[in-house]
Structure 1
C-alpha cells in the first residue's frame, strides 16, 4: 500500500479522535476536518475535496435524513404519552415472577428502538426501582439488564440513528438490517441477563448509600467515603448530585417524560395501553420487513438477483411503497400522534414535542452527513482502494475491518454513533473490492461500537449513576456487560457472513 495513502488514512482518523477528545469542537466538525486532512495528505485536488464533502453529505442525508427525523418524532410521542411505561409493565406481567431481569432486558431493547438510550433509561429506571423495592433486593441486576438491553437495539436496530447512518453509508437494505439486528438482539439478550445476574449480587453490597436509600427505603449510613466518591463523579460530569438525581426521577415514567418535555402532566393521567403503544413501533417495522421479503421473493421469481434492472411485479409495488422507510415511519408517526395522545391535547403542545424531537436529531443528522463526506473523500482520494488491496493481501477476515475500526474509535472517543459512522465511512470503499456484504459490514460496525463503555461515554454516567455504582463497581458492572455482548457478537458476525 502506498505510504502516502496510509498516512492519509491515519491522519484522518487521528483528526477525529484528537478533535473530539482535546478540543471544544464536536464530531460534526471533526469529521469534516478529517475529510479535508485526508484529501490533502492523499494528494487530492483541493477543489475536488470540497466537491466530495458536499456530494457525500447530500447523498447520505438524501437516503437517511428523513428517516432519522421521523424516528425521533415517534420516540418523543412514546415518551411524553406514557406509552413506553405501559409497554414496560406489559412485558413484566408477561414474563412473570422470578424473570424480572429478562423482562427488564426485553423492555430496554424494545423501548430503545425509537427512544434514545439516555432518556429511555431515565424514563424506565423508576420501574426497575419499584420492582427491586418490592423484592427487597436485586436492583443492580435489574438496572444493568435494562441498560444493556437498551444498548443492543440502540446499536443494532434501525430506526435508531447509528445503524441507520451505517446502513445509508454502506448501501445496505434497511429491512435486512432490521431483521439481522433483531436476530442479533435476541441472541445477545441471554448474555445480558446472565452477566447481570452474575455480577449484580456481587455489586449490591457496594451500592451507593444514597441510591440504596432511594430504592429500598431503608436507612443507610452515609459514610464520608461514599459521598466523596459520588461527589467526584459529579465533578467530572458537571451535573447535580446522585442523590438529588435519583430522587428527582423516582416518579412515574410518564411524569418524568412530562417534565422533560414541558408537559403539564395531563397526558400522564391517562396513559395508553400496551397495545396502542406497540402500534407506532410494530406497524412501520412490519411494513419495512414486508417490503424486503416480498421484493426478495419477486426478484428470485424473476431471476433478477442483481437488482439494477429489476422492475417490481404488480403485487409487490404496493408493499414496496408502504414499506419504504420514509412512508412506513410517516404512518408510524401519524399513529403515534392520533392513538397515544388524548384528543384534548393542544395542537401547539404536540407540535412543540415534535420540534423537541427534531432538535435532538439535528446534531446526529449533521454527524451522519459528515460521515458520508468522509467516506466519499476516502473513495475518491484512492485511500479506500489502497486499503482494500492491503487487506486483501493478508489473512485478516474482511468483516473484522469495520468491527475493529468501530471498536477503536469507540474506545478513543466514547460515542457509539460516531464509532459506527466512522467505521462505515472507512469501510464503504472496501465493500465491493473485498466481496464483503453491505449487511455484514453494517452489523460489524454496530457490534464493534458496543465495546467497553467507560468514562468518555455519556451513557456510562447515566447508567452507573442511576444504578448507584461508583469506581471499580461501575467498571465491573457496566463496562463489563457491554464488553461481554461485544465479544459474543463476533461468532454471530461470522455466521451471518457464511449465510449471506
Structure 2
C-alpha cells in the first residue's frame, strides 16, 4: 500500500479518536475533520474534498435519514404508552418461573430494537427489581441479562439507528440485515444468560447497600438493627403467596398500570376505563414493519431468481413483486408502523399536541445520530475519491486476513478508544465501504462485522456502562467483571458467527 495513502487512513482514524477523547468536539465534527485530514494527506485537491464530503453526506442521509427518524418516533410512542412494559410482562409469563434471566434477556433484546438502550434500561429495570424482590435473590443476574439483551439488538438489528446507518453506508439489504441480526441475537442470547448466571451470584454480595435496600426492602428488627425483608424466609410480600413462593413472576409493582403513571396521556372522558395496552397490540407497530421489510426481501430474492439476475441496477421487480417492493420499502413500512403506534397504542383522548411533542422529543434524540451518520458517509466518500479505499483493498487482498475481519477490527479498536458503539460501527462502515465491491465482500457480512465489532468491552468511556452499573449497584472491578465482561463475551461469540455468515453469503 502506498505510504502516503496509508498515512492518510491512519491519521484520519486517529483524528476521530483524539478529537472525541481530548477536545470539546463531538463525533459529528470529528468525522468531518477526519474526512478533511484524510483527503489532504492523500493529496486530493481541496475543492474535490469539499465536494466529496457534501456528496457523501447527502447520499447517505437520502437513503437512511427518514427511516431513522420514523424508527425513533415509534420507539418513543412504545415508551410513553406502556407498550414496552406490556411486551416485557408477556415475555415473563411465557418463559415462566425459574427462567427469569432468559425472559429479561429476551425482553431487553425486543425492547431495544425501537427504543434506545439508555432509556429502555431505565424503563425495564424496575421489572428486574420486582422479580428479584419476589425471588429474594438474583438481582445482578437479572440486571446484567436485561442490559446485555438490549446491547445485542441495539448493535445488531435495524431499525436501531446504528445498524440502519451502517446499512445505508454499505448498501446492505435492510430486510436481510434484519433477519441476520435476529439470528445473531438468538444465537448469542445464551451467551448473555450463561455469563449473567455465572457472574451474578459472585457479584451479588458487592451490590451497593442503597441499591440492595431499594431492591430487596428493609425491615426493623426487635433489636433495632435493619435486615433485608428478602432475606427473611417465609415472608409473604407483594406477588408472593403465604409460603413465600413466586406466584407468577411478578409483584404488585410489576402488575401495576401498564402505562407509566408519570406520563400524561391526556384527560380521559368521564367513565373511561384506565388505559392499558395488551401484548399483541403493543407488538403491532414493531412487528408489522419488520414483517413487511422482510417480505420485500424474500419476494425480491424469489423474483430475481426467476428473472435470472443477481440484484444490481439491472433488476426491475415483476408486476406481482411491485406491491411487496412498495409496502416493504423501509420508509413505507415504518410510516405504517408510526400510524399504528399513534392510533393503536395511545388512547383516543390523547390530544394532538402531546403526540406532536413526543415525536419532537424523539426527533431531537435522533438528530445527533443523523448528523453522525451523514458525516460517516462523507468520510467514506472521501476515502473512495482520494484512492485510499482502493489502496487499502489491494493491501488486504495481498494478505491472508479474511477481508470481512477488517471492519470488525476497526469497529473494535474505535469502540475501545472512544466508547460509543454507534460511532464505532459508523466509522468502521465508512472506512471499509470502498472495500465491499473491490474485495467482493457481501454487504450484509461487512455490515454485521461492523456492528458486532462495536459490542466489545463497554467500560468507563461508554455512557451505557454507567447506566447499567449504577442501576445494578456495581462499582470498580466488580463493574468491569460484570458489565465489561458480558459485553466482551458476546463480542467474542460473534466471531465464529461471522465466519459462518461469510461462508453462507460470500
The counterpart of 2:409, out of the listed 404, 409, 412, is 404
Mark the structure with the bigger radius of gyration.
Answer: 2
Deviations 1:26-52 (A, max 9, x none): 000000000001000100000000000
Q: CA deviation at 1:218?
A: 2.6
The structure-2 alpha-carbon separation of the partners of 1:306 and 1:72, relative to structure 1 and needing over 3 Å to count, comes to closer
Q: Tell me how far apart the structure 2 counterparts of residues 429 and 421 of structure 1 sit (CA, whole Å).
A: 14
Is this contact kept in 1: 2:101–2:193, CA < 8 A? yes
Gaps of 5+ in 2: 227-252
In structure 1, the residue matched to 2:243 is: none
The structure-2 alpha-carbon separation of the partners of 1:387 and 1:281, relative to structure 1 and needing over 3 Å to count, comes to same
In structure 2, the residue matched to 1:246 is: none
TM-score after normalising by structure 2: 0.91
Q: Are 1:99 and 2:68 an aligned pair?
A: no
In structure 2, the residue matched to 1:491 is: 496
Q: CA deviation at 1:256?
A: 9.2
Is this contact kept in 2: 1:17–1:412, CA < 8 A? yes
Q: Tell me how far apart the structure 1 counterparts of residues 158 and 256 of structure 2 sit (CA, whole Å).
A: 24
Is this contact kept in 2: 1:254–1:268, CA < 8 A? no
Q: Tell me how far apart the structure 2 counterparts of residues 168 and 142 of structure 1 sit (CA, whole Å).
A: 35
Q: Are 1:279 and 2:284 an aligned pair?
A: yes
| 3-state SS of 2:315 partner | coil
Deviations 1:245-300 (A, max 9, x none): xxxxx9989799664x6767979942211011000010000000000000000100
The structure-2 alpha-carbon separation of the partners of 1:459 and 1:263, relative to structure 1 and needing over 3 Å to count, comes to farther
Is this contact kept in 1: 2:104–2:149, CA < 8 A? yes
Deviations 1:443-487 (A, max 9, x none): 000000000000000000000000111111100000000000000
In structure 2, the residue matched to 1:339 is: 344
The structure-2 alpha-carbon separation of the partners of 1:75 and 1:370, relative to structure 1 and needing over 3 Å to count, comes to same
The counterpart of 2:427, out of the listed 419, 422, 425, is 422
Deviations 1:315-343 (A, max 9, x none): 11101000000000000000000000000
Q: Tell me how far apart the structure 2 counterparts of residues 189 and 337 of structure 1 sit (CA, whole Å).
A: 31
The structure-2 alpha-carbon separation of the partners of 1:219 and 1:367, relative to structure 1 and needing over 3 Å to count, comes to farther
Q: Are 1:115 and 2:115 an aligned pair?
A: yes
The structure with more helix, counted as a fraction of residues: 1
TM-score after normalising by structure 1: 0.92
Is this contact kept in 1: 2:376–2:430, CA < 8 A? yes
Q: Tell me how far apart the structure 2 counterparts of residues 258 and 359 of structure 1 sit (CA, whole Å).
A: 23
In structure 2, the residue matched to 1:479 is: 484
Q: Tell me how far apart the structure 2 counterparts of residues 489 and 265 of structure 1 sit (CA, whole Å).
A: 48
Q: Tell me how far apart the structure 2 counterparts of residues 252 and 50 of structure 1 sit (CA, whole Å).
A: 56
Q: Tell me how far apart the structure 2 counterparts of residues 157 and 144 of structure 1 sit (CA, whole Å).
A: 20
In structure 1, the residue matched to 2:192 is: 192
* Runs of 4+, deviation exceeding 2 Å: 218-222, 250-259, 261-269
Is this contact kept in 2: 1:372–1:425, CA < 8 A? yes
Query: How many positions carry a matched residue from both structures?
Result: 472
Deviations 1:318-376 (A, max 9, x none): 01000000000000000000000000011101110011011110000000000000000
| 3-state SS of 2:433 partner | helix
The structure-2 alpha-carbon separation of the partners of 1:372 and 1:465, relative to structure 1 and needing over 3 Å to count, comes to same
In structure 1, the residue matched to 2:233 is: none
In structure 2, the residue matched to 1:227 is: none
| 3-state SS of 1:270 partner | coil
